[in-house]
Amino acid sequence: MAHTLVDIPFENRHECWFCGEPSELTFSFPHQYFIVFDCSHPPLSVPSCRECTTLARKSEQHSIWAVGSNVKRFLTQTYQKDLAIGINWTKEELANSEFETGNFVGFQKSAWLMYEIAKQRVNYQGWDLSLEGVELDVDFIGTEFIFDGVTYPNVDIAIDHFIETYDLSSWAFKKALSIVGFDKFGKAVKFCRLLLGSTPEQQRLALRYFEEDEKLD
């Protein structure tokens, strides 16, 4: 199967289409690792970095755009700890953290940069795809969710990320979100962090009061 390299804008000529990092390879789709019978676009190749190429090959999807969404999900999971730095700290707090000695001195110097790189890769949006000047019709409707400056492929991935980052009760967090809605995602996070170490019965009681308070707002 012959794959055609997509048109690459001059300003993106050295970028990975998935994450914006310097591209070393190309990722071709459809590919031998997953047979696709109903691909909506011609066989094509996009410039990619080594990591995203590996992640893309694991994605069992039916279009290059769906593969791209999956790669962002993998990146969010891979760099969960780096993204958590921006949740737990501000740049100013890190700079003034007084970690000048011991094992934390390296963390102080590199942590915010690690967070910014991870955030930039997850937030990166690849350019519109075309082949030999003919723009391709996107057949994938994304369900991106943006919170605190980070773009998650969908809200479920954002939920999982915060559950893992803060060790939240999955049931309690999802229940809190059902009460306040996704537009108050941060409020649900703060509330559920208060429940750490509580019993299921205590969580149910707290959620009942939480719901009653929300009705009064």
Residue by residue, pLDDT tens for the chain (217 residues) are 689 999 999 999 999 999 999 999 999 999 877 877 778 899 999 999 999 999 999 988 889 999 999 999 999 999 999 998 888 777 787 777 665 555 555 666 688 889 999 999 999 999 999 999 999 988 766 678 999 889 998 898 899 999 999 999 999 999 999 999 999 999 999 999 999 999 999 999 999 999 998 887 7
pLDDT score recorded for residue 106: 60
Q: What is the pLDDT of residue 127?
A: 96
Q: Would you list the DSSP string of the chain? A: ---EEPP--GGGTTB-TTT-SBP-EEEEESBTTB--SS-SS--EEEEE-HHHHHHHHT---SSHHHHHHHHHHHHHHHTHHHHHHHHH--HHHHHTS---SGGGHHHHHHHHHHHHHHHHHHH--PPPPEETTEEPPP------EEETTEEESSHHHHHHHHHHHHT--HHHHHHHHHHH-GGGHHHHHHHHHTTTT--HHHHHHHHHHHHHHHHH-
pLDDT score recorded for residue 79: 93
Do the beta carbons of residue 161 and residue 83 sit within 8 Å? yes
Does residue 56 contact residue 71 with C-beta atoms inside 8 Å?
yes
Angle at alpha carbon of residue 54, lines to 25 and 116, rounded to 5°: 85
Residue 97, pLDDT score: 66
Residue ranges per domain, the chain?
4-140
Residue 35 is predicted with a pLDDT of 77
The pTM score is 0.78
pLDDT of residue 48: 98
